[in-house]
Amino acid sequence: MTATNATVAPAQPGQDDSKFQIYVQIAMLLAVITGVETVVIFIPFAKWLIVTALVVLSAVKFLFVIFYFMHLRWDKAFCTIVFLIGLVLGGGTLWALIELFSVKDSLPLTSLG
């Protein structure tokens, strides 16, 4: 019996460091956006402006997370399409359930007399 010596090629310096730095920078950006969201809640502006700002900031965070931390940026386009189809189906189901169980439909009927 002979044992084979499998050698692993050493990683090139800086190869994994660049991706690590990207992840750290995005994590810091997500932390800053979360801090801005927290501050925006307490600013005395119109409600529609606050809600719009929070939705936009949350969408930015969502896109960073799915494209970098879920690795969709480096995957094939098919994986991104499958993810987006599931997202649209889930969002449509959520919208349908909200409409189905909305307050106006769940109020008791008035007596007809």
Each residue of 2-53: pLDDT tens digit? 555 555 555 555 556 788 898 899 999 999 999 999 999 999 999 999 999 9
Whether 106 is in a domain gets the answer no
Total tally of structural domains belonging to the chain: 2
* Whether residue 66 is found in the same domain as residue 43: yes
Does pLDDT of 102 surpass 70?
yes
Whether 88 is in a domain gets the answer yes
Determine the Cα–Cα distance for residues 23 and 63; give it in Å rounded to an integer.
14
At 80-99, the pLDDT tens digits run 889 889 999 999 999 999 88
Triad 41, 99, 81: Cα angle to 5°: 80
* Whether residue 28 is found in the same domain as residue 66: yes
Whether 63 is in a domain gets the answer yes
- The predicted structure's pLDDT at residue 60: 92
Whether 92 is in a domain gets the answer yes
What is the pTM (predicted TM-score) of this model? 0.63
* Whether residue 28 is found in the same domain as residue 65: yes
- The predicted structure's pLDDT at residue 24: 92
* Whether residue 57 is found in the same domain as residue 31: yes
* Whether residue 59 is found in the same domain as residue 86: no
Domain that holds residue 91: 74-101
Beta carbons of 68 and 23 less than 8 angstroms apart: yes
* Whether residue 80 is found in the same domain as residue 66: no
CA distances from 37 to 10, 40, 65, 66 (A): 43, 5, 16, 19
* Whether residue 53 is found in the same domain as residue 89: no
